[in-house]
Amino acid sequence: MKYLKNILAAAALTATAAFAAEAAVTFTATDGGVTYSIWEGPNDEPASNADWAAFLAETGYYQVAKYDVPDEENPGGFTGETFTITGTPGKSGTWSSSFGVNGFVIKGSNTFLFVDYGDLGAQTGDNWCTDGTCKSVFADGNIFMPQLLNNGGKNPGLSHLSLYVLSTVPVGGIPEPATWLMMIMGFGLVGVATRRRTHMARTIA
């Protein structure tokens, strides 16, 4: 009986975990190669949202720029690379950058929309909206960006907009300075050992 209870408890935990994983993304649609997906929770850096963090690690996306809309508690402004954004504070506008962007996040209240360019490659500007009145300039159909809703079922204005690029380094991330130092020292020791072996071989000969 005890073992049966343990099995049932494990099954319940597995089902709960699977439901939580599915509930992280509440909407997905693809149009013209552009994928819209609504996520629950934050998209802060480093990611405190486990599902979002796992997605970033799996796909290689990382945040390079962010704009926070100013409010009473937050002075707002840009973090990372600077870019141009219009329509803030508000519910729709545009953004443009001098660098290629593979995807961007529109955050409003407790949910956020991730616009993923996928195989289209990096882009340098697009529309954004939280109220479902716009679509990506690269979309070729009639699918508009889905509306973001808060816990009260109301449509919030933009909280922040973040730009993401695909990593060109291993998914583990950029090595810390100490790691670089150890790598350089390791290469140096390998070089010294190789040189000594070559010298000893010449001496014996």
Report residue 31's pLDDT band, with 50, 70 and 90 as the boundaries.
very high
Return the structure tokens found at 92: 């729709």
What's the rounded Cα separation, in Å, for the pair 108 and 162? Answer: 12
This prediction has a pTM of 0.71
Closest by CA to 65, choosing from 120, 104, 7, is 104
Residues 159, 69: contact at Cβ < 8 Å? yes
What's the rounded Cα separation, in Å, for the pair 128 and 96? Answer: 11
Report residue 167's pLDDT band, with 50, 70 and 90 as the boundaries.
confident
pLDDT digits (tens, 9 = 90+) for 58-112: 999 999 999 999 877 778 899 999 999 999 999 999 999 999 999 999 999 889 9
pLDDT digits (tens, 9 = 90+) for 170-194: 434 445 555 546 667 766 666 666 6
Residue 19 has pLDDT above 80, yes or no: no
Closest by CA to 63, choosing from 99, 90, 32, 28, is 99
Closest by CA to 153, choosing from 121, 111, 119, is 111
What's the rounded Cα separation, in Å, for the pair 119 and 24? Answer: 23
What's the rounded Cα separation, in Å, for the pair 110 and 107? Answer: 8
Maximum Cα–Cα distance for the chain, whole Å? 84
